[in-house]
Structure 1
Amino acid sequence: MELLCAEEPVRVPRADPDPHLLRDRRVLQNLLVQEDRCSPRTTYFQCVQQEIKPSMRRTLAVWILEVCEEEKCEKEVFSLAMNYLDRYLSSVPTRKCHLQLLGAVCMLLASKMKETSPLIVKNISIYTDYTIWPHELRDWEVIVLGKLKWDLAAVVPHDFLEHIIQYLLLPTHESELVKKHAESFIILCTVDFTFSIYPPSMIATGSVGAAVQGLGIFTNSKSGETLAELLAGVTGTEVELLIACQEKIEVALAENLRRVSQSQQQVLASKAAGCHLDHKLPLTKTPTDVTKVML
């Protein structure tokens, strides 16, 4: 008799993008019209929040990203969760001891919007090292929904990627490569609150531009347009603003790589000194810096 352990949730394959919708310009136009409807206030740290600082948001964003990656969530879940978080913080003064609870609830709501099998409340509680209990997540879920007026269909940068990339007329393998790199840039922008001044369409366009330029696979179009001019025309963005956004993404990437390099050097130095410490934090524990934020 064979015993089958089926504790892991079954992931339902996601359908591929519909090429007819991608080629219909009206879909892109509707996204551009709707993207400002659910945009958070970019000044809420100065006008609304007294205890919470941008550095705390960044720490929380990294934790949410780690959980999403561990749970193999769709790429949009992280961006959507951060949209909910920023919109809530834009209108509700929040104590820093509630910040991780708020982030966990936003992640849960985003998974319900984008996943065929949403995150399990009990598992989220485990990721917080049981500093947050399932009943707290359920109670706060209703609170957050009320503050967001139950409007969860926000437009995020990932929604624009397929629409933008198709205008580059790249081979399939190069399009997939550009998309993969652009998704990484979008995550980088989502973690960094300074990018909140840009609408989702510009972040997506700038990420595609940075990916294409970094990979060195783009040639000028037949009409003689540059890459920036072509991308700006797709989403109706000013070329100068798009270039500024793309350059900011490239600077953020360089800074992130520098941080990673420093972290790796510290690990090597510790090992060389005989310190056999595990610097990779288990995701079933609450990160130390998140714990500090909650105190």
Structure 2
Amino acid sequence: MDLQQRCREGRTPGARRAQGDNNLLTDRVLRALLRGEDKYLPAANYFRCVQREIAPYMRRIVATWILEVCEEQKCEDEVFPLAMNYMDRFLSAEPTKKHQLQLLGAACVFLASKLRETSPLTAEKLCIYTDNSITPAQLLQMELLVLNKLKWDLASVTPLDFIDHFLSQPPFRTENRSILRKHAQTFVALCATDAKFIAISPSMVAAGSMLAAVEGLQMRMASNGIMPQKLMEQLAQSIRSDPDCLRACREQIESLLETSLRRAQQLCSVTMETKNIGEGQDQSTTPTDV
């Protein structure tokens, strides 16, 4: 095969991901992640102590936008939680105007894609996703400001760094790991959109997401032999936490899922009602045959 053809890289999902390395799933690596995760935690109270114009609901709106960009561009799973970590760490240190929040979000996903993607997102493409409300020059300027505030330390520990460590341990069967990983990653992304999880350690979010995934798939994996209580104790031991704290985190994640589903249903209902009203108005003004 031609060397140029072999080295050609595109944005096709799966074409650029390296094979997993089991050497990275050892206890030594897990211990290193646990030692380093607190270093990258944002301040829990930055909405009260640092920010004057930014509110949690604004963060959720921008987080949802970043997630949509990542999904539409088929970014690596790690890009979204990494971008949210950058944004929270920046907001923990720098007062920000509310009209700059989307610009900040764009800069953070820009940096995260550079760190995790073989073919990172371009400044021009991200500007298009903001309806051209920002320019590439503004994005690059904000990128430098974020790098300065983060002291160029971008190798953050995120919940996804722990998922494969958990899945490599008993009692997870090989044939179930793929679907469990997918569901756990969904819960991790959901947590990243909610400000309540800002100060919860990545290992706790990852373990809580694993438990929520197992609980949600319990009917489909009844033959797997996974006992929820035993699994909770095992995960709590892995992350050096109390099982009760982990149980509380799992319950908080499940509550967030219910809230998100309820919000989505309400939005769907409003959309349908608006559509029906529009159709009714169109029907009333449409000439009828006599």
Letter in 1 for 2:182: K
Partner of 2:162: 160
* Distance in 1 of aligned mates of 2:190 and 2:238: 23
After TM superposition, give the deviation of residue 234 of structure 1 in Å.
1.7
After TM superposition, give the deviation of residue 220 of structure 1 in Å.
4.7
Q: Deviations for 1:156-199, whole angstroms, at most 9, x for unmatched residues?
A: 00000000112243232311111100001001100001012310
Q: TM-score, normalised by structure 1?
A: 0.86
Identify unmatched segments of 5+ residues in structure 2. 1-8, 281-290
* Distance in 2 of aligned mates of 1:242 and 1:19: 26
State yes or no: 1:219 paired with 2:225.
yes
Q: Which of the two has higher C-alpha Rg?
A: 2
Moved over 6 A (4+): none
* Distance in 2 of aligned mates of 1:194 and 1:151: 24
Residues 10, 16 of structure 2: 8 Å contact kept: no
Partner of 2:233: 229
CA RMSD of aligned residues (A): 1.8
* Distance in 2 of aligned mates of 1:200 and 1:102: 22
Letter in 1 for 2:39: R
Residues 190, 257 of structure 2: 8 Å contact kept: yes
What's the % identity of the aligned pairs? 48
Partner of 1:260: 264
| Cα pair distance change 1:225/1:56, threshold 3 Å | closer
Instruction: Point out which structure has higher relative CO (alpha carbons under 8 A, 6+ apart).
Output: 1
After TM superposition, give the deviation of residue 98 of structure 1 in Å.
1.0
State yes or no: 1:42 paired with 2:77.
no
Q: Deviations for 1:199-218, whole angstroms, at most 9, x for unmatched residues?
A: 00000000001101111135
Out of 12, 17, 31, the position equivalent to 2:20 is: 17
Letter in 2 for 1:205: A
Partner of 1:270: 274
* Distance in 2 of aligned mates of 1:154 and 1:103: 16
Partner of 1:87: 89
After TM superposition, give the deviation of residue 264 of structure 1 in Å.
1.8
Residues 65, 78 of structure 1: 8 Å contact kept: yes
1:63-82 alignment, distance < 5 Å? 63-82=65-84
Partner of 1:151: 153
- Look up the SS of the partner of 2:169 in the other structure: helix
* Distance in 2 of aligned mates of 1:225 and 1:190: 26
| Cα pair distance change 1:55/1:225, threshold 3 Å | closer
- Look up the SS of the partner of 2:132 in the other structure: coil
